[in-house]
């Protein structure tokens, strides 16, 4: 790469040299007027440049493409991801044809039809048949691309299968918080942004019994392989965007408007480590909607594992109520008994008293 940079710099240097030498000639002849029959100034070398750049450009684009190819579209790990990858390369393949033809014609014609003395251009103002052809041909190609794209898009954005694993991901400045539906009821509880505080970071509403077994995680997301995963996406402060490059997943997180995206991951983290030969490989989730100072590092690890280890991991996680038993105070009286199941035994007994003694959930930051 340094060699190329050096080469480019060299080209620029040479051209700058040409500039300076030309400049001196030009300054000398600044008051000389062109005679009408003279060759237009610099026409020869500019014509030649078109051919030179055409050839050099073709070679360097081909070379750089082959050189950069290894990093293109990181290995897709979801079913729809491979489909959009194929579609991408299919479209790119089709579009390369006009790219080459059109640029070739522009450069070639510029060189071929450069000014010649005593020559006159052809008066050729229109040709309806030609214009019809190059209106219809692109229209047909577009129709093909629209159709394939539309099919893929409507499949990807269709409703998630009913058995999908539902996971909530919430963006805030500057990290993600993942919430799981819990092992007992497998339903995400309600939320309300007004309930957010320093511990209840996503505003879990504990008056909804579905929330009792919910658990959150601010550092990693686990998902099972080969099963549809439905991400319910939220934002707490400003716009964020969930981007999982390997899964070909991207969806904005919008305050006040929950969004969703479902996909089927089909390669576990372990599979990818073996496939890429990189023992430290990890899936990552990034933010792609500018959200402030920490935008560039809003990262969370994604772990794809087989169903059994995923279940095991979920079971090991402490529910929100287990971590912060003082929030029992927020559970309505009629559901208290049910909520007790999810509270650790030692915390459960003094739960009522702790709620009163610490003055409620909001002021118990010291417990962190």
What are the Cα distances from residue 168, in Å, to 175, 197, 304?
Answer: 14, 18, 16
Phi, psi at 311, each rounded to 5°? -60, -45
Q: Contacting other proteins (CB under 8 A), which of 10, 38, 55, 115? A: 115
Largest separation between any pair of C-alpha atoms in the chain: 105
Footprint of other proteins on residues 32-91 (CB under 8 A)?
Answer: 33, 40-43, 46-47, 49-50, 53, 57, 61, 64-65, 68, 71-74, 81, 84, 87-88, 91
Interface with other proteins, residue 270, by CB under 8 A: no
Give min distance, CB of 84 to other proteins, in A: 5
- Interface size with other proteins, residues (CB under 8 A): 126
Query: How far is the first Cα of the chain from the last one, in angstroms, to the nearest whole number?
Result: 50
Q: Which pairing describes strands 220-224 and 300-305: parallel, antiparallel, or unpaired?
A: parallel
Asked if 242 contacts 223 with a C-beta cutoff of 8 angstroms, the reply is no
Q: What is the smallest separation between the CB atom of 232 and other proteins, expressed in angstroms?
A: 11
Least Cβ distance, residue 364 to other proteins (angstroms): 15
Which residues from 329-348 bind other proteins, rule CB under 8 A?
none
- Of positions 28, 93, 162, 198, contacts other proteins by CB under 8 A: 198
> Strand 249-253 vs strand 300-305: parallel, antiparallel, or unpaired?
unpaired
State in angstroms the smallest separation of the CB of 7 from other proteins.
Answer: 11
* Nearer to other proteins (CB atom), residue 88 or residue 344: 88
d(CA 231, CA 221) in angstroms, rounded, equals 11
d(CA 105, CA 116): 19
For 187, how many CA atoms within 13 A lie in the half-sphere containing its CB? 9
* Closest to 204 in 3D by CA, of 220, 192, 216, 218: 192
- Minimal distance in Å, beta carbon 328 to other proteins? 22
Out of 208, 213, 252, 271, the only residue in the binding site for other proteins (CB under 8 A) is: 252
Per-residue binding string, other proteins, 150-169, x by CB under 8 A, is: x-xxx-xx------------
In angstroms, the CA 189 to CA 160 distance is 19
- How near is the Cβ of 367 to other proteins at its closest, in Å? 17
C-alpha triplet 365, 366, 368: angle, nearest 5°: 75
Supply the minimum distance, in Å, between the C-beta of residue 226 and other proteins.
21
Q: Which is nearer to other proteins, 296 or 352 (CB)?
A: 296
**Unique residue bearing structure tokens 């269709």:** 158
| Closer by beta carbon to other proteins, 25 or else 366 | 25
For residue 51, count other CB atoms closer than 10 A to its CB: 14
Residue 349's SS3 state is: coil
8 binds other proteins (CB under 8 A): yes
Residue ranges in 209-228 that form contacts with other proteins under rule CB under 8 A: none
Residues 271-290, interacting with other proteins (CB under 8 A) = 280-282, 284, 286-290
Q: Is the Cβ of residue 153 or residue 348 nearer to other proteins in the bound state?
A: 153
Q: 75 and 275 in contact (C-beta within 8 Å)?
A: yes
Report the site for other proteins in 287-316 (rule: CB under 8 A): 287-297, 299
Q: Which residues pair with 232 in a beta bridge?
A: 168, 260
In the complex, minimum distance from the CB of residue 4 to other proteins, in angstroms, rounded to a whole number = 7
Counting contacts by CB under 8 A, is residue 31 touching other proteins? yes
Cβ(302)–Cβ(244) below 8 Å: yes
203 binds other proteins (CB under 8 A): yes
Q: Does 175 bind other proteins (CB under 8 A)?
A: no
Shortest Å distance, C-beta 271 to other proteins: 16
């Amino acid at each position: 790469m340094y060699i190329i940079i050096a080469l480019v710099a060299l080209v620029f240097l040479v051209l700058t040299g040409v500039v300076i030498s030309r400049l001196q000639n030009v300054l000398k002849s600044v008051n000389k007027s062109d005679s009408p029959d003279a060759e237009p100034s610099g026409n020869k070398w500019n014509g030649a440049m078109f051919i030179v750049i055409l050839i050099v450009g073709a070679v360097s684009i081909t070379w750089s493409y082959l050189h950069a190819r290894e990093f293109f579209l990181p290995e897709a790990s979801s079913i729809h991801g491979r489909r959009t990858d194929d579609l991408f390369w299919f479209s790119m393949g089709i579009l390369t044809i006009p790219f080459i033809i059109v640029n070739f014609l522009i450069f070639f014609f510029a060189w071929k039809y450069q000014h010649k003395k005593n020559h006159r251009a052809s008066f050729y103002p229109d040709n309806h048949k030609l214009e019809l052809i190059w209106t219809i041909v692109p229209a047909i190609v577009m129709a093909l691309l629209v159709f394939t794209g539309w099919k893929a898009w409507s499949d990807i954005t269709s409703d998630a299968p009913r058995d999908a694993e539902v996971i909530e991901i919430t963006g805030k400045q500057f990290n993600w918080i993942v919430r799981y539906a819990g092992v007992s009821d497998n339903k995400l509880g309600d939320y309300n942004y007004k309930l957010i505080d320093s511990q209840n970071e996503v505003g879990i509403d504990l008056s909804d019994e579905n929330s009792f077994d919910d658990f959150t995680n601010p550092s990693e997301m686990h998902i099972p392989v080969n099963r549809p995963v439905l991400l319910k996406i939220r934002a707490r402060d400003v716009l964020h965007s969930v981007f999982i490059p390997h899964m070909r997943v991207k969806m904005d997180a919008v305050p006040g408007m929950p969004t969703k995206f479902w996909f089927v991951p089909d390669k576990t983290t372990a599979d990818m480590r073996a496939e890429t030969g990189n023992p430290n490989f990890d899936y990552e989730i990034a933010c792609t909607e500018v959200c402030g100072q920490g935008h560039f590092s809003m990262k969370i690890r994604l772990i794809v594992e087989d169903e059994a280890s995923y279940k095991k991991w979920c079971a090991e996680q402490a529910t929100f109520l287990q971590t912060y038993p003082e929030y029992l105070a927020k559970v309505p009286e009629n559901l208290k008994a049910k909520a007790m199941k999810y509270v650790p035994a030692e915390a459960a007994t003094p739960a009522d008293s702790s709620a009163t003694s610490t003055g409620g959930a909001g002021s118990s930051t010291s417990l962190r």
